[in-house]
Each structure stands twice: as structure tokens, then as C-alpha cells.
Structure 1
Amino acid sequence: MENQGILLYIGIALIILLVLWYIWTANNLIAKRNRVKQCRSGICVALKQRNDMIPNLVAAVKSYMGHENETLTRIAELRSRTFQPSQESEQIKTGNELSSLISKLQLSVEDYPELKASEQFTRLQRSIEDMELQLQAIRRTYNAAVTDYNNSIEMFPSSIVAGRQNHYQEELIDIPEQEQRNVDVSALLK
């Protein structure tokens, strides 16, 4: 009789531990999913902030650069697209393309010493460069949060809880192929 009582207490303790583990794991997965959402939102906020600076940069550059008009037009088009209500993933993709165009614009500016000497342009250029660095940091943070979340979803035993609570993998931010290519410095120096 005494053994049955001990086994009953052990069984109840195991069930309580299992329930507590399930609750802890479910809450942990929710916290990780919310961290991913927070990081994605941070990227969108940084993109909006950068896009608010772009008209000033474009206006400053337009007065000096006639033949880079195509790049300026594409930047303006991408900027206006990021203000339209869309999926966060589409905003991030557009932001990546905009980042590559801004770096091309920065290289084109090298041909205009009077523009580089403009205090307003220099200040805007530094602000956008700072924003690009912030975006890179936020993207790295986002990818780290997504990797942590995806690992939790896939690894046993938390994968059991993830499957029951409809947790799905998130996508990492990929760098566009054009930004992965090596820069041809000799072409830039011509």
C-alpha cells in the first residue's frame, strides 16, 4: 500500500513537471517569436528614418549631378514604394535594394569636389552612412533572433510544443546578390 502511494506521488510530480516544462517552453517560444517581430519592426523603423533623409540628399545631389539622374530617379521610386502599405518582408527587400543604390550614389559623388565640400551634403551623407550602419546592425540582430527562434522550433523536445502551437520558421534576411560581388576598384578609379 505504501509503495502505491509513493508511486502515485511520483506520477503526480512527473505530470506537474511535464506541465510546467510545457508552459515554460510555450512561453519561451512566444518570447522568441515576439523578439523576431520586434527586430523586423526595428528594420522597418530604420528604413523609414533613412527614407525621410533621402529627399534632402537627393535635392542636394541633383543640383550638381545631371548624368546620375537614372540612379536618383530609381532611389526616389524605391523610397516612395517603401511608404506604401505592404508586407514587412517587401519593405525589407526594397530597403536592401535602396541601400545598394545609395552606395552607388556615394561613389558617383566622388567626381564632384564642390558637392563633397558642401557642408549640408557632407552632413546628410554622414547621417545616411550612420543609418546604413545601424541598419546593418539591426539586420544582424534580426538574423540572430530568427536563428534562435528557428532552432527552438526545430530542436527536440521544444519542437513538440512548437508543432502543437503552430510556430513556423521565419526567413533570414539575405543580402542581394549584387551586394555580394567584389567591388572592381580599377573601374571606380577611372
Structure 2
Amino acid sequence: MIILYALIGLVVLFAFYGVGVYNRLVKLSTLVAEAWSGIDVQLKKRYNLIPNLVETIKGYASHEKETFENVTKARNQAQNATSVEGQQTAENQLNKALLNLYAVAEQYPDLKANENFLNLQNELSVIEADIEKSRRYYNGTTRDYNILIDSFPSNIIAGMSNFKKAEFFEIELEAERQNPQVKF
């Protein structure tokens, strides 16, 4: 009789553990989705600002048509990305196009002094910082979620419940990987 109670107690204990792990997986999955939504909001703010930036620069450098077209094309691709991997690729292309756009702007001293251009540049800088914060939060929640999916014995419950690992969101900027040049 005592053995039967002990077995029933063990089954109940494992059931509670399984429910706890499942609920934690659901919670982390929801946090990953919420974090991705935060990135998406910041990216949309950025996408809405880019046409204004392009139009401001166009006023000074109308002959740089290819650069403007590349920025517009990259922006559209980024807006239409449907997966984390697709978004990463599109964002990398957009960042390269924006770097080229800023290189064009550097050639026009009057543009660099334009108040509208400076305001747009500052806004974009703030949004870029917000995107970085959102990306860090997303990657942190993704890390925690993926660790739970990979860890034993929660990996058994994750596998039985069809939980899949989430992808990290990493944007590569070549400029960030290069050593800064210091000149005196």
C-alpha cells in the first residue's frame, strides 16, 4: 500500500514538473514573440524616416540617382522580409545603402549644415539606438528560450510539445568590425 502511494506521489510530482516546464516554455515563447514585435516597431519607425532623409539629400545631390534607388530598394526589401533570417539579410543591405547615402551627404557642406537634415540624422540615430536595445532584449529572451529547449529533461517536453528553437537577430555592420583609425 505504501509503495502504491509512493508511485502515485511520484507520478503527480512528475506531472507537476512537466506542467511547470511546459508553462515556462510557453512564457518564453511569448516573450520571444513580444521581443520581435518590439524590433518590428523600431524598424517601422526607421523605414518611415528614410524617405524623408532621401528627399532632403536629393535636394542637394539630385545626380546621385543610383544611390537613392538603392536605398529605396533596400528599404522595400527590409519592409517585406518575413523571417528573422530574411530580416537580417535585408537589414544588412539597408545598412550598406544608408552608409553610401551618408557618404554622398558628406560631399555637400551645405547639406550637412541643413537643419532638417541634422534633425533627421539625429532622429535616425535615436531609432538606431532603440533598435539595438530591442535586438539585445530579443536575443536575450531567445537565448533563454533556446537553452530551455536544449536542456535535459525540458528538451523532452519541448520535443513532445513541438517547441522549436528561435533564431537570433544579428545585423552585421562592416564598419563595426573594422578597427577605428586614430589620426593625430
The one of 154, 157, 164 equivalent to 1:161 is 157
Which residue does 1:46 correspond to in 2?
A: 42
Equivalent residue letter for 2:22: A
Unaligned runs of 5+ in 2: none
Q: Does 1:88 align with 2:83?
A: yes
The one of 157, 168, 171 equivalent to 1:175 is 171
CA contact (8 A) 1:43 1:135 kept: yes
Q: CA deviation at 1:161?
A: 0.5
CA–CA distance in structure 2, aligned partners of residues 171 and 120 of structure 1: 38
Unaligned runs of 5+ in 1: none
Which residue does 2:8 correspond to in 1?
A: 12
Q: Does 1:74 align with 2:70?
A: yes
CA RMSD of aligned residues (A): 2.3
Which stretch has the larger CA shift, 135-144 or 50-59?
A: 135-144
Q: CA deviation at 1:108?
A: 3.8
CA contact (8 A) 1:75 1:102 kept: yes
Question: Structure 1 residues 145 and 166 mapped into 2: Cα distance closer, same or farther (>3 Å)?
Answer: same
Task: Indicate the structure (1 or 2) with the bigger Cα radius of gyration.
Answer: 1
CA–CA distance in structure 1, aligned partners of residues 122 and 98 of structure 2: 12
Number of residue-to-residue matches in the alignment: 182
Identity %: 34
Equivalent residue letter for 1:88: S
Matches within 5 A, 1:54-133: 54-66=50-62, 68-84=64-80, 86-89=81-84, 90-133=86-129
TM-score (norm 1): 0.84
